[in-house]
Amino acid sequence: MCKSKKILYFTLSFIIGIAFQELIAMPFFILYTLFIFSSVFLYFFWSSQKIRFILIVLTFFILGAVRMEVEEIVYTNNLSITKEERFIGTAKSNTETYDNYKNIFVIEEKSKKKFLLRVNLFSEFFYGDKIEFTCLPQDILDKGSYSRYLKKEKISYLCYYPEVKLISESKSIYKKLFQLREGGKKIIDDQVFYPQSGVLSAMILGYKKDIPLDLRENFSKIGVSHIVAISGMHLVIVSVILYWLLIMLGFWRQQAFYLIVFLLWLYIIMIGLPASAVRAGIMISVVLWGRHIGRINNLNTTLFLVAGFILFFNPFFLLGDIGFQLSFLAVLGIIHLTPIFLSFFKKVKTFDKIKDILAVTFAAQIFTFPLAVFYFGFIPVLSLPVNLIFIPLLPIIFILGALIILSGLFFPILSKILGKITGSILSFLVSLVEIFVELPFSFFYIEKINFLWIIGFYFFLFLFIYKMKKKNIYNELI
């Protein structure tokens, strides 16, 4: 067995160990005993290649379970706070704006625990700002289903409407980029009518809360919610656009790789370092790196290795973070299905760039489809035809949105013209969404889906990929 496959099996075993421990919750002393036994057997059977491999796989499984248990112990080991106290901490996010309040994550200076502060709408803090806040923190363990989200974010305490005072402003590049994002949103709001301005801000700056709730639901029902959310699929499209632009500007492919990765992460920082975008950015960077070094066949191993690395730092992501699961599956789909779609599209002799976008998007959607149905409870019947209309327009909208912001800084008249053009395109898309969602067969709800159906779906999907690989179609990545 080659080294790459061994690493894949070891990493996969570690990930399964994390899942097993979260579902079964074996006592720590049993895990410790199993680890000792596996280490002893490994010592005595080291000379046997097969037994050694099995024991190493078992050891990584136990290590995954131990890592999950340690994280659980550390997370639940919170101090009991029974009275209002004054705390000092550093903002680890920008404020997230909702209808009547804002949220901000803060790392407390002494305990190093993560607080979620709910503050008034007029409050404004940026990543890296040092703040003082006074409140009676609430423990998150009794918050019902909301606790799962808080646990995944490693939030130890909640503070509702505390007294907050700014101690010192951050002077880092992060804050400058975040302020650039705020300025970009203001330009979009000035040049594009609502709700189209909200859709555009969500698509390129991550302000999804600016879209009316009913419109967000309609986007989900017809299977185009990825258009108005910063997701792995979104970042893939941005990467493809950057690749086109850099090649058009005369950069070599090798040079383009480094610039794409740099610009992609600059963009992720600017939109506020949302956890979903950070994870998707890591996975996409891995795919780009695999193509850069010409080791496409090892991308499976590298992707699982990155997933294992992320889960080592926060094992709660595995079962508690839908975004992590969907991002991982989207990139896995891009690796395995994109070459197949591109081979199908070879009959179309033109529209190469649009074919790239369609291949990437459909690959990601097919791989995430079962899990999306499982979590969200409905099947978007018209997803495929609607995406065929929407996807070719995405690069145009992204580029126009960027030009609106840039020209708004120097040429307001040009920005206004571009805003009208972009607003018209978005009005067309919003109208289509409203028309399609009213059709009786556009979507239907599923109250409960059996997890065995999901397993069966992926079994036949990988069987299909295996058959296509045998036909030598599976030979290149975009």
Per-residue pLDDT tens digits of the chain, which is 478 residues long: 677 788 889 999 999 999 999 888 888 888 888 888 888 888 888 888 888 888 899 999 999 999 998 888 887 776 667 788 899 998 877 667 776 788 888 998 888 888 988 888 777 777 788 999 998 888 776 555 677 778 788 888 888 888 888 888 877 777 777 778 888 889 999 999 888 998 898 888 877 777 888 888 888 888 777 777 776 667 777 787 787 788 888 777 777 778 888 888 888 878 777 766 777 787 777 767 766 665 555 677 878 888 898 899 889 888 888 878 887 888 888 888 888 887 777 766 666 666 777 777 788 888 888 888 888 777 787 777 787 788 778 878 888 988 999 898 888 899 999 999 999 999 998 898 888 888 887 777 777 777 788 888 899 998 888 888 777 655 444 4
Assign residue 90 a region: left if phi > 0, alpha if psi is -120 to 50, beta otherwise? beta
Q: Are 290 and 331 in contact (CB under 8 A)?
A: no
Neighbour count for residue 19 (Cβ, 10 Å): 16
Residues 50 and 129 both lie in one domain: no
**Which tokens hold the place of 275?**
């956890």
Helix (H), strand (E) at residue 11: helix 3-24
Do 65 and 160 have their domain in common?
no
> At which of 131, 148, 170 does a domain end?
170
109-135 pLDDT, tens per residue? 888 888 988 888 777 777 788 999 998
Verify that 254 and 297 share a domain, yes or no: yes
Query: Which of these three, 49, 76, 103, is where a domain ends?
Result: 76
> In the prediction, which pLDDT does 477 show?
42
Residue 156's CATH number: 2.40.50
Q: Is there a single domain that holds both residue 240 and residue 362?
A: yes
Alpha-carbon span 135 to 119, nearest angstrom: 12
477 domain residue, yes or no: no
Domain extent at residue 336: 178-470
Q: Which two tokens stand for residue 121?
A: 């709408």
How many structural domains is the chain composed of?
Answer: 3
From first CA to last CA, the distance across the chain in angstroms is 28
357 and 413 assigned to the same domain: yes
SS (H, E, C) 279-327: HHHHHHHHHHHHHHHCCHHHHHHHHHHHHHHHHHHCCCHHHHCHHHHHH
Classify residue 244: in a domain, yes or no.
Answer: yes
* 475 located within any domain: no
pLDDT attached to residue 295: 57
As a whole number of angstroms, the distance between CA 158 and CA 116 comes to 5
* Dihedral angle sign, alpha carbons of residues 368, 370, 375, 381: positive
Residue 448 covered by a domain: yes
Pair 394, 452 in one domain:
yes
Say whether both 165 and 218 belong to one domain. no
Cβ atoms of 11 and 301 within 8 Å: the answer is yes
Q: Which residues of 275-298 are buried (b: 16+ CB within 10 A; e: fewer)?
A: bbbbbbbbbbbbbbebbbeeebeb
Is residue 141 within 8 Å of residue 147, measured between CB atoms?
A: yes
Domain shared by 327 and 402, yes or no: yes
